[in-house]
Structure 1
Amino acid sequence: MTKPLTLAIFQSMMPGGTAYGSWRHPENTAPDYLDVDHWVSLGKKLDAAGFDFLFFADAYGSPDTDDRFFDIRIKDAGIGAADPLVVVSAIAAATSKLGIVVTASTTTEKPQSLTRRYATLDHLTKGRIGWNIVTGSGQAASARLFGEAMIPHDERYLIAEDHIQLSLKLWEQSWDDGAILLDRAAGVYADPSKIHDIHHDGPYFKADGFLTVPPSPQRTPLLLQAGTSGPGRDFAAKYAEAVFLAGGDAKHVAANIADIRERAERYGRPADSIKFLVGVGFITAPTTEEAQAKRGEMLSFSTVESAAAFYATLTGIDLLALDRTKPLGDVKTEQGQSGVERFSGADGVPPATVGEILEDYRRNGVNGSIFVGDPSTVADQIEEFIELTGADGFAIQPYLVPGTYDDFIELLIPELRSRGLMREQPEGSTLREHLFGEGRKRLPREHAGAQLQTPVS
């Protein structure tokens, strides 16, 4: 049965964007990432078109100047990243429906400060904020910047578990519903009996006190996650309300989705309690020939060296130093295991050679799939992919900003709506309602955080 897709826009607050080298295109405004008008204009466009949310990828750190890819990254606008949380309020003030999701790491951010910022933003956005939970992206560079030893991959998920437990307590337990009285005549702003200290004595974080921000429209922001290593899938099954997956072979994507859904059920959550969004690029034009010409232009900017540099940033693995005719083999990395497992071969898909990984990254970027053609052709590709994978929607990776989105809005959205694949506007007023339906503003009762909730008044 046809159902509307969840559609997110994939962005990062940096000059290079998500398609290698495309910043050089004269119509690409991605290098304007430090201009607030750039983000306000983009937010208005996406809001008017009816997209569910704007997603910001983010990471701390930069490679060492002795890194073999340093010069490539600098020349190809792969370095220079600002803090996307700073622009959320500006985008929110200029929009009325568009959700905004920002990445933050449980390794670099303390729960006490992170929960305060996201609760504040949930108020300022009127419930349209989401947190993409990562344990560390570009972890080697981040650790170097903070002057810390790099934490092993699996231990980062133990930290994340402790982090989210404390975060949920702060959001869900600090204030009872109805605590704010705002009784000017009696001189009572809030009921002291409805504000509570929380106590947390975890292996990595400790806290005694309460979140100073009163309950926001969602209380807990929409929770998203992107890792697909073993620990990542288990963390997603327990806590995530939406999961980002790299594209690529539909069988592999389908297996990841099925595995996480099964794990979620073991945690007592319905299989459909998580929305799965696949990272995909869209290149469309009035005719397939024109779309293919745009695809060719996109690839003319992309090099194997840039692809290798980005892969090394994510995983710590230098593909250019390896035999391109052979698979990676049984490689383990403490930096980004999902980027390795994506090509390791499983679910009837053979392992990719190093050369194939390089070409995949050069052609498709981190998100892994590109749909190319006229609107009808692309819509057919979408329907086939959704049918094969069981995914719920897409995180749309741009080639040009805003050109990719203009084409999507003008050409593809009418086709999607005619097929029942996109709503006129997102449901409800909050981001959680956009994904799960009007009236579902707070964490559902099956979620691990539900036992922490105060009663809804």
Structure 2
Amino acid sequence: MTRRLTLGIFQFLAPSGMTGGSWRHPDNTAVDFLDIEHWTTLARRFERAGFDFLFFADSYGYPELEHQVIPDAVRDAIQFPQGDPIVIVSAVAAVTERLGIVATASTMVERPQAIARRYATLDNFTKGRLGWNIVTGAGQGSSARLFGEELTPHDTRYDMAEDHVQIALKLWEGSWEPDALRLDKEGRVYADPAKVHEISHAGPYFSANGLLTVPPSPQQTPFLLQAGTSGRGKDFAARYAEGVFLAGGEVSHIAANVADIRARAAAFGRDPRAIKFVVGASFITAPTREEAEAKREEMLTLSTTENAATAYAYYTGLDLLAMDQDAPLGGGTRTELGQSNVDRFTGENGATVKTVGEILEDFRRNGVNGTTFVGTPAEIADEVEAFIEATDADGFLIQPYLTPGTYDDLIELLLPEFHRRGLHSPEYEGTTLREHFQGEGRKRLADDHPGAAFRP
């Protein structure tokens, strides 16, 4: 395999890694998540290693059942607490030059005009290194309750997201022509009025009439990512996403989702190869397999079945501990929260049907993103090559067990093996995040993206 892997780093502004209560490990510095130097130090290191982007997940939600916070979430820091990652973007940008930065924002919480303005400003501040991870909201039950709202049905949230994103795209692509900014001091022309346009949108959920007050950024539209593999989520990704974040797990299930989204993109008139897929994964490596497996077992001592049930409730609203542990979840199980984390265990798209007890153990061992590679650098590189070949994915969004220990091993042991095999390079493609994904020179949305139709 000669494909260069896209590698991102997944982080919450939170104290734990992706499984259990890893904050309790004596070497874990993630408890410093509200210290700005914690993030600037990590960002510098990620850039030196050549990672394509740093990805910040986010949600206003937290684990709850029957409209009450789950005590285990508070006690053991499971999907709780979380800070607001958008405020760290400028600090990370100030200490790096090439590292991409992806920030999550929910279409259920923020109005599209506010997101368009904020992200256009940050794309200027980062010199074109910003991405928007578009979500309809994780932990949506508690999030809706926090805002004093009723829970919006799952598919309706995607209808709202489409309306939301269309306004943002119209503002980014339609308000300013690329050469509208003149900065002509002698001629007293800051911008050419003939090239700055008001947009109009009257949708079923959002409306807008006016213009974006922020001049064009290097990408004009920040790079667009999306996660979610329910049927409605895949349609949304196929139409709008440039990068898709998939949970890990079974190779056949991942491959089916990649193929399905690519096929849907083609049906929408887009180049299916233009969508890049990154799979959530953890890497535990050491000079010997025995050492790597010992690290894995040490981390699992910090993860309990109750932790797993709490995390699963956060994503789905389902209480696995109250169910028959030996029975399958059932292919007809529906949730108005996160359907993707139901479908991956109930036979959808070739996934193996698992019992409730098996789902809990999977979440205990692997967290929400499902794929864990354990072994020597050479062993993991072999597995990665086979994984990419089988799934047609483009890379990984790497989840930490420990900070900075996960990254120490990744950078010092595994990346040199990837470089030796040509799987990754510490050199960046282009200067913008879109170029890191799509190749040098591709700073703007592709012409076949629906956002391009909003250009004057």
What TM-score results when the alignment is normalised by the length of structure 1? 0.97
Aligned-partner SS, 2:450: coil
User: Could you tell me which residue of structure 2 aligns to residue 449 of structure 1?
Assistant: 451
Q: Which moved more, 1:338-347 or 1:5-14?
A: 338-347
Q: Distance in 2 between matches of 1:97 and 1:401?
A: 22
User: Could you tell me which residue of structure 2 aligns to residue 36 of structure 1?
Assistant: 36
User: Could you tell me which residue of structure 1 aligns to residue 19 of structure 2?
Assistant: 19
Q: Distance in 1 between matches of 2:13 and 2:174?
A: 33
Shift of 1:35: 0.2
Matches within 5 A, 1:161-240: 161-240=162-241
User: Could you tell me which residue of structure 1 aligns to residue 144 of structure 2?
Assistant: 143
Shift of 1:84: 0.3
Q: Distance in 1 between matches of 2:446 and 2:426?
A: 25
User: Could you tell me which residue of structure 2 aligns to residue 382 of structure 1?
Assistant: 384
Shift of 1:63: 4.6
Shift of 1:15: 1.3
User: Could you tell me which residue of structure 1 aligns to residue 156 of structure 2?
Assistant: 155
User: Could you tell me which residue of structure 1 aligns to residue 340 of structure 2?
Assistant: 338
Q: Distance in 1 between matches of 2:27 and 2:116?
A: 38
Q: Distance in 1 between matches of 2:293 and 2:231?
A: 37
Q: Distance in 1 between matches of 2:187 and 2:237?
A: 47
Q: Distance in 2 between matches of 1:184 and 1:386?
A: 53
Matches within 5 A, 1:249-398: 249-329=250-330, 330-398=332-400
Residues 66 and 255 (structure 1 numbering): CA distance in 2 closer, same or farther, change over 3 Å? closer
**Alpha carbons 2:65, 2:313 under 8 Å: kept:** no
Q: Distance in 1 between matches of 2:356 and 2:66?
A: 24
Give a deviation string over 1:188-225, Cα, whole Å, max 9, x none.
21111111110110100111110100000001010000
Q: Which moved more, 1:129-138 or 1:68-77?
A: 68-77
Q: Distance in 2 between matches of 1:350 and 1:311?
A: 18
Shift of 1:133: 0.5
Give a deviation string over 1:417-449, Cα, whole Å, max 9, x none.
111100121200000000111100000011111
Q: Distance in 2 between matches of 1:421 and 1:392?
A: 11
Q: Distance in 1 between matches of 2:348 and 2:87?
A: 40
Identity of aligned residues (%): 62
Report how many aligned residue pairs link the two structures: 454
Aligned-partner SS, 1:449: helix
Shift of 1:377: 0.5
Give a deviation string over 1:43-97, Cα, whole Å, max 9, x none.
0000000000000110013356976762101111122111100000000110111
Residues 353 and 39 (structure 1 numbering): CA distance in 2 closer, same or farther, change over 3 Å? same
User: Could you tell me which residue of structure 1 aligns to residue 421 of structure 2?
Assistant: 419
Give the AA of the match of 1:262: A
Give a deviation string over 1:292-338, Cα, whole Å, max 9, x none.
00000010100000000010011000000000101111111001111
User: Could you tell me which residue of structure 1 aligns to residue 59 of structure 2?
Assistant: 59
Listed as ranges, the gaps of 5+ residues in structure 1 are none
Aligned-partner SS, 2:402: coil
Shift of 1:19: 2.3
Residues 77 and 225 (structure 1 numbering): CA distance in 2 closer, same or farther, change over 3 Å? same
User: Could you tell me which residue of structure 1 aligns to residue 85 of structure 2?
Assistant: 84
Aligned-partner SS, 2:424: coil
Give a deviation string over 1:238-277, Cα, whole Å, max 9, x none.
0000101111110011000000000000011112110011
Aligned-partner SS, 1:136: coil
**Alpha carbons 2:133, 2:226 under 8 Å: kept:** yes
Q: Distance in 2 between matches of 1:69 and 1:411?
A: 40
Give the AA of the match of 1:447: H
Residues 398 and 445 (structure 1 numbering): CA distance in 2 closer, same or farther, change over 3 Å? same
Listed as ranges, the gaps of 5+ residues in structure 2 are none
Q: Distance in 2 between matches of 1:389 and 1:148?
A: 39
Aligned-partner SS, 1:335: coil
Q: Distance in 2 between matches of 1:62 and 1:195?
A: 42
**Alpha carbons 1:69, 1:309 under 8 Å: kept:** no
User: Could you tell me which residue of structure 2 aligns to residue 114 of structure 1?
Assistant: 115
User: Could you tell me which residue of structure 2 aligns to residue 432 of structure 1?
Assistant: 434
Shift of 1:186: 2.1
Give a deviation string over 1:373-420, Cα, whole Å, max 9, x none.
010001011011111111100000111111101111000111001111
Shift of 1:157: 0.5
Q: Which moved more, 1:37-46 or 1:343-352?
A: 343-352
**Alpha carbons 1:51, 1:425 under 8 Å: kept:** no
Q: Distance in 2 between matches of 1:115 and 1:417?
A: 37
Q: Distance in 1 between matches of 2:63 and 2:340?
A: 20
Q: Distance in 1 between matches of 2:69 and 2:201?
A: 43
Q: Distance in 2 between matches of 1:348 and 1:239?
A: 25
Q: Distance in 1 between matches of 2:184 and 2:230?
A: 51
Q: Distance in 1 between matches of 2:157 and 2:66?
A: 26
Q: Which moved more, 1:416-425 or 1:226-235?
A: 416-425
Shift of 1:346: 3.7
Q: Distance in 2 between matches of 1:271 and 1:166?
A: 24
**Alpha carbons 2:64, 2:317 under 8 Å: kept:** no
Q: Distance in 2 between matches of 1:75 and 1:62?
A: 13
- Cα RMSD of the aligned pairs, angstroms, is 1.2
Q: Distance in 1 between matches of 2:20 and 2:146?
A: 25
Q: Distance in 1 between matches of 2:349 and 2:391?
A: 12
Shift of 1:280: 0.5
Give the AA of the match of 1:189: Y
Give the AA of the match of 1:39: W
Aligned-partner SS, 1:231: helix
